[in-house]
Structure 1
């Protein structure tokens, strides 16, 4: 029996883990680990973890045909590897909450894509969603301050991440027709891990860096870098992924996606309390307006969609 309260709780918990992961990732990037290497560690770690879990719990779900390989390769490289890399580039230059607001405009891009390219019928609320999202981003960027108060490269990276994330969702709709979302996401992380193993060869990585202490901005507390990376892999990827999947047993994908938009809010609060990333009043207002637009975009498609891929697993 579906239990909506449990679905809401799982979705919010997943958003909270992703929100904390944003600040943990910021500390790792500030410690000197490049975005390419952090992305590689997260993708490979999550791939190994998911492979082990499925191999023990449901090995038949890992079966793979040759015809699926090209799709999974593109899905993993664009939807996972590049989305996460661009996200890390953006939070290295922008407050975590603002980077997420830009990135989570993906549903607006999806609605425009299915209308312009696929010819799907969309509800008129799409135009309100587009107007609100663009207006909100103007406030978030504070463009009246001499071209904006945000780092341009960070904004470009966050918007590019939104494009990659939209690709992830659209391909996920297709992929889940023949595959369950757990196995699909597992293989997407495998593809992403293989991509980064080639793009950023492991023999070029000084593993001794993982033993370096990292200040946590909590008094004089420090942890070795490997401990923070382990958090990012387990509690910043695998655990929220499973929570997102579990929520879909009790909520529709659209509802889960709407609830998941709480992530930028939580991420901003965590970053403010932890590393004192303070947003201006205009940025807070703009973020709220964008989230309203995203909510409208989530429900703009007139055709029912089988979107079983969790709405938050790829980006953060």
Structure 2
């Protein structure tokens, strides 16, 4: 009976994470629609998204604090603020890439390339030794990325080429966020982490949004544009992250990492269905190679981590 209950909880958790991935994928679709139909700047949209999200997570953090004591010290707070700077950088570069290229290709590059960069940087920075499978998966991921952007690189449109480069920058910032979070956010509640990161990100982007002059365009936005902005801030950000956090409580880490990889594929599919963005046969093949490579590298990396942990325990007991 207990096993059956745990199994149903795991299924429910997996469904919640899949819902989160699907909601996150709609961010780029709504953003691209805004950029196409209005003069809204990507940096302003990133700022508004974080402004909508952080009060929501502040309330959740307070509610969580009434039930359990929130671990929050000065060192942890500093770490979360640092993560907030990375959050601001990622939101700005990712939405900028969506504006210049497309919803599908920007999401595929930013989210699929980030784990590859993490795996590459983990060796010199964290001492994680990649095995042969991981190395081959990383090489395949790089090949898949090149196939994915081949059309854009050959395009005479300098903006699209620049968008590809900015998407790569977004992947690098997200990778830095991931590597930093392994050391600087441990012990904080998920809602407290989200609140501090999003609030810090909003504060970082505020002066940039003001200096860019993009806030002046807000007065010209119609009701549809404001509804799309509200949707991005509430549904994929607030609701999406709550679904993810709830799902993680009963879902193994390996399973959740595989499910989350569906986000860029959802984004590419929605971009094709709603926005008419087509990757072409080479792009589709590249997206497939890139996604499979990320899954293989992710699973292989976890096996290496478990092996090193076992070796450490054995060394300490002898």
TM-score by length of 2: 0.84
Q: Once the 2 structures are TM-superposed, how far is the Cα of residue 149 of structure 1 from its aligned partner?
A: 8.1
Q: Once the 2 structures are TM-superposed, how far is the Cα of residue 181 of structure 1 from its aligned partner?
A: 2.3
- Summarize the alignment of residues 28-67 of structure 1 with structure 2, pairs less than 5 Å apart: 28-30=34-36, 31-58=38-65, 64-67=72-75
The CA distance in 2 between the partners of 1:228 and 1:240, in whole Å, is: 16
Residue aligning to 1:14: 20
Is 1:93 matched up with 2:100?
Answer: yes
Q: Once the 2 structures are TM-superposed, how far is the Cα of residue 304 of structure 1 from its aligned partner?
A: 4.3
CA contact (8 A) 1:97 1:264 kept: yes
The CA distance in 2 between the partners of 1:8 and 1:109, in whole Å, is: 26
The CA distance in 1 between the partners of 2:230 and 2:211, in whole Å, is: 17
Is 1:108 matched up with 2:120?
Answer: no
Q: Once the 2 structures are TM-superposed, how far is the Cα of residue 164 of structure 1 from its aligned partner?
A: 0.9
Equivalent residue in structure 1 for 2:126, among 118, 142, 163: 118
Structure 1 unaligned blocks of 5 or more: 214-222, 306-316
Q: Once the 2 structures are TM-superposed, how far is the Cα of residue 143 of structure 1 from its aligned partner?
A: 6.0
Aligned-partner SS, 2:249: coil
Q: Once the 2 structures are TM-superposed, how far is the Cα of residue 41 of structure 1 from its aligned partner?
A: 0.5
Structure 2 unaligned blocks of 5 or more: 308-318
The CA distance in 2 between the partners of 1:130 and 1:81, in whole Å, is: 27
The structure in which a higher percent of residues are helix is 2
Residue aligning to 2:265: 265
Q: Once the 2 structures are TM-superposed, how far is the Cα of residue 296 of structure 1 from its aligned partner?
A: 1.5
- Summarize the alignment of residues 140-219 of structure 1 with structure 2, pairs less than 5 Å apart: 140-142=148-150, 146=154, 151-201=160-210, 206=215, 209=218, 212-213=221-222
Is 1:275 matched up with 2:275?
Answer: yes
Q: Once the 2 structures are TM-superposed, how far is the Cα of residue 62 of structure 1 from its aligned partner?
A: 6.1
Q: CA RMSD in A?
A: 2.6
Distance 1:147 1:231, change over 3 A: closer
Q: Once the 2 structures are TM-superposed, how far is the Cα of residue 123 of structure 1 from its aligned partner?
A: 2.5
Is 1:68 matched up with 2:115?
Answer: no
Residue aligning to 1:250: 250
Residue aligning to 2:232: 232
TM-score by length of 1: 0.85
